[in-house]
Structure 1
């Protein structure tokens, strides 16, 4: 292990970038995280995340397993599959035993755990990156939106789907999959909507028909996120004459799409408290790769954007600890980045192929078996790892 490396910059304070920063600091290495958001609480961090073998391995490497277990909700692994017309329970998964467990945790809580584990001042808030360029001596120059720049021995793009760092390595851009999720939410569901709380159970509820899906996911504190998923052109809402500022018009449109569905399921939309947010699904090509460039690399969605099944988040965390460990165990920073890329790119390709298999299951009328899908994913990832 060495601490002689020059300064490292991570662009993006998502869970992948923060896991990398935490692990680097565990090794005694210098790192700064640059984030465009003005503060840690400037926006919601999204829904629950189930921590797979990959995510749990990353937390072990980061020394945060016990802190995670204190916040996790193992009961959140429950999945209830309902017939969309009759409301009948047709599939029921209860939390798995400890050997294959994938406990749920609020993404915001997980991000907070990681932020709290960092040395004060590690994250520089309100510092959006614009691009990165090579200086010529193996270092990289990080350019910010305000026109300033700083030089680093390594710049890590952990800035998500629309990464500002990726163009320095790859011409690939995310492509729309043809599927969109519209998100809304309910608050204090156990008290205000006990019938819906009973319908959902302790974890998630899903109903689907002819490529359309309704998904409800319990978060901590009685908060429930609800998603309506369907195939549509990217500008479907414009064609429908919808303005997402008009929540009632969006609600009416979605209820019309689900005409004939069971009234209890439609209650998830009728009673929602939050507005509606359109979340079109984009992906990078399966097997996305790049020619190595000294001083620059990628992790997480910036490297391997996949459908939002939670897989990408788990891999982003594992990317982070693998990169930090490679840096700490190589005297040469460029060799470390090469070793890291040789490790994570085959794994990401295998996960992307497994995601494609899951997409087929998610969009068909067959019952979703989350445990089976997770086993399939983990098997494909293990097959892609180098021997030893």
Structure 2
């Protein structure tokens, strides 16, 4: 029994989770459209590199027939890690151990997006489609978009990220603030613009930790780097602090006052940032969340189980969601879509709860006075 026969499927959100699901369903003949709010595929600067895990992200790409494309585009050596203190003194350096094929290989977000987009049939992704509302009539969903267009679908899947517009149609449960706020920045042409950090980065990653604060720096294949401060704040700090995050002078002044005593090497990141800084309060979904499964509406990725980035699980969880949801929807073991979705959601909520707990433990440990010792003990 083909549960998707003669069904129109709408995936809202064109991130790795949504695109992976579209690929897996299309491979099996499903009628899928992906509605993405970005104006086009190059509309957004893609952030830091992603490390894909064998049991999740890589597993999904393998099932999607895209593993060869991944290995052609991944970044050898990008998983090199240096752990340093606030003075940039190296406490741990694993670069010498990276001769063999990596366990958790890294790929830039842009190339991963391109691999997934190029695997889809033409016009699968409908760009410039920011969802405004969902309306149900006779068991069919009407999706209305900001650009005054609309679409109809028999099955809708929310893959629209942390601020999901669809999640409230499924559950009223909201995420809680974790106590940490990230400030994100980027430096283009880092070898010239921030030479000291570029040299320390060595084509990989830096975890700088001290004074219950973090500064994480990642290299990218285009010669740029991205960096993320992490410190304890109250929930609305980014809104109330009065900092103009488009003003490098103001953000540097904040960094020097908040990260007092940190070596001047880090200043070059803020002095040479290539675009506006982005403050990101960190949220996490409750560990015990559950809801009543709906017959033709479900959810995956950050929209379902938002958590901080301090365990590298976000993209991997989203891609594993896509794989497991596709397997349920394509299975002949279920009498109807409702049963297939219920099976997926039950497993997804248990799995994501366990991962969220570990991620919160990691988030807290990285923002303690013994963060360096803790992280070395975990990865050694």
- Do Structure 1 and Structure 2 share a fold, with TM-score over 0.5? yes
Deviation, 1:78, is 1.1
**C-alpha offsets along residues 35-85 of structure 1, whole Å, 9 cap, x if unaligned?**
111111111222111101211111111111010111111311111111213
Aligned length: 373
Offset, 1:142: 2.6
Q: Which residue is 1:244 aligned to?
A: 245
1:13–1:64 distance in 2 versus 1, CA, 3 Å: same
1:345 aligned onto 2:354: no
- The answer to whether 1:364 aligns with 2:368 is yes
Q: Give runs of aligned pairs for residues 1-388 of structure 1, distance below 5 A.
A: 2=2, 4-53=5-54, 54-85=56-87, 87-94=88-95, 101-137=103-139, 139-145=140-146, 149-237=150-238, 239-309=240-310, 310-330=312-332, 332-365=336-369, 366-367=371-372
Once the 2 structures are TM-superposed, how far is the Cα of residue 173 of structure 1 from its aligned partner? 2.1
Relative to structure 1, the CA distance from residue 238 to residue 133 in structure 2 (aligned partners, 3 Å threshold; closer, same or farther) is closer
TM-fit CA distance, 1:251: 1.5
Deviations 1:320-372 (A, max 9, x none): 12111221123632222122112211111111111112112211232277697
Displacement of 1:133 in angstroms is 3.8
- After superposition, the CA RMSD in angstroms is 2.4
Distance 1:123 1:329 in 2: 25
Per the TM alignment, residue 91 of structure 1 is displaced from its structure 2 partner at its CA by 1.6
Q: Any conservation in 2 of the 1:187–1:223 contact (CA below 8 Å)?
A: yes
TM-score, length of structure 2 as denominator length: 0.90
Shift of 1:238: 5.2
* Corresponding residue SS for 2:77: helix
Distance 2:274 2:130 in 1: 32
What secondary structure is seen at the aligned counterpart in 2 of 1:253? helix
Q: Matches of 1:371 and 1:110 in 2, distance apart?
A: 29
Which whole-Å CA distance do the structure 1 matches of 2:224 and 2:46 have between them?
Answer: 13
Spell out, residue by residue over 1:239-268, the C-alpha distance to the aligned partner (whole angstroms, 9 max, x if none). 443222322111222122222212223333
SS in 2 for 1:168: helix
Deviation at 1:33, TM superposition (A): 0.6
Greater Cα shift, 45-54 or 325-334: 325-334
- Measure the CA separation in 1 of the matches of 2:362 and 2:35: 34
**For the Cα contact (< 8 Å) 1:161–1:174, is it kept in 2?**
no
Change (3 A) 1:135 1:193: same
Mean Cα deviation higher: 110-119 or 144-153? 144-153
Asked if the contact 2:295–2:338 (Cα under 8 Å) also holds between the matched residues in 1, the reply is yes
